[in-house]
Amino acid sequence: MARTLPVEINRRSVHSIEPGVRQFETSESFVIELTNRGSATHVHINVDDGLAEAISLDGGNHFVEAGRTYRIEANVDQRSRPVSGHLKVVTGYGAQTAVIDVSLIPPEEPQERTPIEVDERLAKPQPRSREQPARTTESAVPGRTLAAGALVVLALLFVVVGSLVAGNPAVILGVGIVLAAIGGAAVLLYST
């Protein structure tokens, strides 16, 4: 978004000129914003020889209606920096003049990024250790595993008792197969 140079016209008296700033610095094109606080007025804007090569204005003489804001584009030639000079705002056919010091500066250069040096050793894969960490009984069997194991044993106890009470050989064989599968799963779980 272009920067704005505000100027109030006719605020204190007829043809009065009140720039928002007396010194204006920019690195890009900008907008001169004329706000008329009184009756309709002709406003003439020009730049001195120092800025004439660097700034082109949309016209020189502008009619600003009462109570309105009028915007004038000030296009900056990007090759013409740094340079400074005066921008003049004139009303009442020369009766009032305001001078604003304008400085066109080079745009800020993006800060040069310094490369981050990476140690060469980080680029090579590290050998993996073949040693397995020693397991302690506390870390090898967490509390949840013990609780789950206790529930499975309790459930199997009920199944075995139920199958013996039923006395059916097919039920007893099915319970034996389930017990063998659970035992095999437990061996695989705790061997890793």
Q: Average model confidence (pLDDT) for the chain?
A: 81
Q: Could you read off the pLDDT of 141-151 as tens digits, one per residue?
A: 566 666 666 76
Q: How many helices (H) and strands (E) does the chain have?
A: 4, 10
Q: What is the location of CATH 2.60.40.420 in the chain?
A: 3-104
In the prediction, which pLDDT does 21 show?
Answer: 94
Mean pLDDT of 76-104: 90
Q: Is the pLDDT at 54 greater than 60, yes or no? A: yes
Largest Cα span, the chain: 122
Range with the poorest average pLDDT among 12-26, 72-86, 125-139:
125-139
State the pTM of this model. 0.55
Q: Helix (H, G, I), strand (E, B), or coil: what is residue 190?
A: helix
Among 56-65, 116-125, 165-174, name the most confident range.
Answer: 56-65
Domain 3-104 belongs in CATH node 2.60.40.420 = yes
Asked if 73 contacts 29 with a C-beta cutoff of 8 angstroms, the reply is yes
Which region holds residue 38: left if phi is over 0, alpha if psi is between -120 and 50, else beta?
A: beta
Mean pLDDT of 97-122: 79
**Structure tokens of 155?**
């459930």
Question: Bigger pLDDT: 22 or 133?
Answer: 22
Mean pLDDT of 59-65: 90
In the prediction, which pLDDT does 25 show?
Answer: 92
Q: Is the pLDDT at 133 greater than 70, yes or no? A: no
Q: Could you read off the pLDDT of 151-179 as tens digits, one per residue?
A: 667 777 777 777 777 777 777 777 778 77
Q: What percent of the chain has pLDDT over 70?
A: 79
**H/E/C letters for each residue in 115-138?**
CCCCCHHHHCCCCCCCCCCCCCHH
In the prediction, which pLDDT does 139 show?
Answer: 54
Q: Is the pLDDT at 32 greater than 90, yes or no? A: yes
Q: Is the pLDDT at 117 greater than 90, yes or no? A: no
The residue ranges of DSSP E strands in 48-165, in sequence order, are 55-57, 61-64, 69-76, 83-91, 96-104
Q: CB burial class (10 A; 0-12, 13-18, 19+) of residue 29?
A: middle
Query: Which helix (DSSP H) or strand (DSSP E) does residue 31 occupy?
Result: strand 30-36
Which region holds residue 55: left if phi is over 0, alpha if psi is between -120 and 50, else beta?
A: beta
Distance between CA atoms of residues 16 and 5, nearest Å: 17
Distance between CA atoms of residues 5 and 177, nearest Å: 90
In the prediction, which pLDDT does 1 show?
Answer: 47
